[in-house]
Amino acid sequence: MSVPLTLLGLLDREPSHGYDLKRDYDAYFGRGKPIPFGQVYATLSRLARDGMATMGEAEPGGGPDRKRYAITPAGRHEVETWLAAPVAPEPHLQTVLFAKVVLALMLGRPAEDYLDSQRRSHLQRMRELTELKQAGGLVDVLLADHGLFHLEADLRWIDTTAARLDALAQEINSTTAERAAGGAR
């Protein structure tokens, strides 16, 4: 998640105080991890410096949060470009789990048990997200769905990998054996 572009996007709605941006950021994107005020103001200063936003005069009351920020045409263009660009569909092949499975097979450890325990922890998380969906509003439903679909994709990989463990072990071990034989020559 790009914090500067997200804040800039929030600013695209209407000129706002840092406080308003933080409140909305936390409500929609923070998800239990509120953005620090300091980060909001530092980001807004950088956006102003780079010509993406303008900083208004301090309003009566004093303090940094009495300044109102507004997006510039350059900032609006930046937001539009960012929104229109697809996120890189990363294959995520080198995940920690992948590394663990391969290592477990190389070391003759119980890869299937590791996959089972991963599957249980994935399903537990899916249960929590399903609960969240049933208790929450539509924003929660959309966010939980995003998480659920990703976890489901991981689970499919876990299932397929579990079904291929024997073949995978054979391949990894024969490669290891070939290397050992090559090294002995």
User: Phi and psi at residue 69, in whole multiples of 5°?
Assistant: -105, 150
User: Distance of alpha carbon 59 from its chain centroid, rounded?
Assistant: 36
Give whichever of 3 and 97 is closer to another protein, judged by the CB atom. 97
Dihedral sign of CA atoms 177, 178, 179, 183 in order: positive
R_g of the chain, CA atoms, integer Å: 24
Report in angstroms how near the CB of residue 100 gets to another protein at its nearest: 18
| Residue among 81 and 130 whose Cβ is closer to another protein | 130
Location of structure tokens 């024969």: 174
- Fill in the amino acid letter for 69: Y
Nearer to another protein, 31 or 120 (CB): 120
Residue 87 beta carbon to another protein: minimum distance, rounded to whole angstroms: 22
Contact set with another protein (CB under 8 A): 116, 119-120, 122-124, 126-131, 134, 148, 151-152, 155, 159, 163
Instruction: State phi, psi for 116 to the nearest 5 degrees.
Output: -60, -40
Whose Cβ is closer to another protein: residue 124's or residue 175's?
124
CA angle 20–24–78, rounded 5-degree value: 90
CB atoms within 10 A of CB 144: 20
Q: Minimum distance between the CB of residue 168 and another protein, rounded to whole angstroms?
A: 17
Q: Please say which residue, 121 or 176, places its beta carbon nearer to another protein.
A: 121
Rounded to a whole number of angstroms, the minimum distance from the CB of residue 125 to another protein is: 9
Distance of closest approach, residue 130 Cβ to another protein, in angstroms: 4
